[in-house]
Amino acid sequence: MKNPMSELLARRVPQFLGLYLAGSWAFVEFLDWAVEQFVLSPHITSFVFLLILLLLPTVVILTWRHGAPGPDRWGRMESIGIPLNLLLAATVLYTGFSGKDLGAATTTVTLEDEAGNEIERQVPKQAFRKQVALFFFDNESGDETFDWLSYGTTLALQVDLVCLEMLDHTLERVHGVVVADVVSDIAYRHRFTQPVGDVAHVT
C-alpha cells in the first residue's frame, strides 16, 4: 500500500493546490486594488474570495485524477463531483449575494446649473455610503474659556470630512430629533449652561 503523502505528491496535488492558492491570492489582491481604484462595489472582492474557496473541491478532484504525468481518462469522480461542487457554489453565492449590487459603486446624475446647462456627475450610490453620527463634546475641564471647543471641534471635523464622498457625516435626524438644531439651540441660547440631555434624549 502506497504512503498517502507519497501518492499525493505523485499526483502533484500539493503542488497544484499551492499554485491555485497563490494565484488566487494574487488575483484577490489585484481585484481589491481595482475595486478601490475604479470605485467598484466592495462586494465583488468578497464574492470572488468565496468563489475561490468553494471551488477548492473541484481543484482537488481534477488534480487527484489528472495531476500525475501521462494521459488519464475522465471518470465517475469528475463527472459527479465537479457538477455537484459547481451547483453548491452557485447556490451559496446566489444565497449570499442575491440582491447585492456587484457593479459600480457610483451612479451618474444629471444636474442643471444656473445658466441652464446640464452637467453629468458621478456620485456614490446610497447603498455604499457609510453613515457617521457626529455629536458635540462636553467640556469637563471646568474652564468656561474652552466651551467653544464643545461645538467648534465637531464642526471643524464635519468640514474636514466633506472631501469623503462615500461618507454621510451631517448631523441629521435621530429618532425624529434634528440633533444639529437641538444642540445649536442649546449652545447659543443657553451659552452651554444646559446639558443636551435636558432638551432631547436620544437613544
Kindly give the pairing relationship between strand 167-168 and strand 173-174. unpaired
Question: Distances from the Cα of 26 to the Cαs of 32, 33, 63, 102, 190, in angstroms?
Answer: 10, 11, 21, 20, 59
Give the pTM: 0.65
> Minimal CA–CA distance to 128: which of 50, 32, 35?
35
* CA–CA dist 123, 120 (Å, integer): 10
β-bridge partners, 112: 118
Convert the pLDDT of each residue in 48-103 to its tens digit.
999 999 999 999 999 988 888 877 888 888 999 999 999 999 999 999 999 888 88
Helix/strand/coil for 79: helix
Triad 22, 28, 31: Cα angle to 5°: 145
Highest averaged pLDDT of the listed ranges 86-95, 135-144, 147-156: 86-95
Question: Distances from the Cα of 166 to the Cαs of 93, 100, 129, 194, in angstroms?
Answer: 26, 17, 5, 35
- The predicted model gives 184-195 an average pLDDT of 47
Contact predicate 63/11, CB 8 Å:
yes
Contact predicate 45/55, CB 8 Å:
no
